[in-house]
Chain A
Amino acid sequence: ETGVTQTPRHLVMGMTNKKSLKCEQHLGHNAMYWYKQSAKKPLELMFVYNFKEQTENNSVPSRFSPECPNSSHLFLHLHTLQPEDSALYLCASSQGQGPLDTQYFGPGTRLTVL
């Protein structure tokens, strides 16, 4: 267990649903990340937060809406998703955003959009 938890672990939703993914880190880190992992594609960075401020939005469609109420919690709100959004969504955290700040990953949420 790396100290980063994600809920739910599995989620199936229709294209008209609204759902949220939750990430919590117990490591005292200041930076948190959302990644998308699709089959046979490289891991894609979606959002970065540092001290609750969004520092990167990697051209993510607006149907994905992140929220970071504090340094320990990160949410990804989903609405009107498309089937191609089905993927494993990984959360990660690190002490800082430097290259020597190791990112610790959660187990992921497997999302299926019908």
Chain B
Amino acid sequence: AQTVTQSQPEMSVQEAETVTLSCTYDTSESDYYLFWYKQPPSRQMILVIRQEAYKQQNATENRFSVNFQKAAKSFSLKISDSQLGDAAMYFCAYRSALKFRDDKIIFGKGTRLHILP
């Protein structure tokens, strides 16, 4: 079974600085998708960024980028120029690409990110 591990329960970063959130996963599959979700204090979870495992290029969405290391099964999220609105719980997640309908997203336990003004 696949697992997702986020080893940092909490992190803090100074406003305008860069922070990296770690995520590792375990799978025997070669084709899958990885995600980072953000859950702000209002609790509405949103998708931040997605990476297809077959793509070597790291995904980027504005100030958010990932470092995808397939061999190491590592998928870290870098937030540049941190803003107060980035304060949230961040979840790393995995989904197999082998089954179209019947597979589910597997989430890590999350990392709570604090932004220091």
A interface residue numbers (CB < 8 A to B)? 1-2, 40-43, 45, 48, 50, 55-56, 58, 88, 90, 92, 97-100, 102-108
Say if the beta carbon of B78 comes within 8 Å of chain A. no
Q: How far is the CA of A20 from the CA of B4 in the complex (A)?
A: 32
Q: Is the CB of A97 within 8 A of B100?
A: yes
Q: Is the CB of B47 within 8 A of A102?
A: yes
Q: Is the CB of B91 within 8 A of A43?
A: yes
Say if the beta carbon of B84 comes within 8 Å of chain A. no
Q: Is the CB of A42 within 8 A of B102?
A: no
> Distance (Å) between the CB of B18 and the closest chain A CB?
26
Binding site secondary structure of chain B: loop
Tally the A-B contacts, defined by beta carbons under 8 Å.
Answer: 53
Chain A residues contacting B109 (CB-CB under 8 Å) are 40-42
Chain A residues contacting B91 (CB-CB under 8 Å) are 42-43
Contact with A along B42-57 (1 / 0, CB 8 A): 1111110010000000
Q: Can you identify 28 A-B contacts, CB atoms within 8 angstroms?
A: A2-B44, A2-B46, A42-B4, A42-B107, A42-B109, A42-B110, A43-B107, A45-B104, A45-B105, A48-B104, A56-B102, A56-B104, A88-B43, A90-B45, A98-B101, A99-B33, A99-B96, A99-B100, A100-B33, A100-B50, A102-B47, A102-B50, A103-B47, A103-B105, A105-B46, A106-B44, A107-B44, A108-B43
Q: How far is the CA of A100 from the CA of B31 in the complex (A)?
A: 13
Q: How many residues of B contact A (CB 8 A)?
A: 24
B interface residue numbers (CB < 8 A to A)? 4, 33, 42-47, 50, 91, 95-97, 100-110
Chain B residues contacting A98 (CB-CB under 8 Å) are 100-101
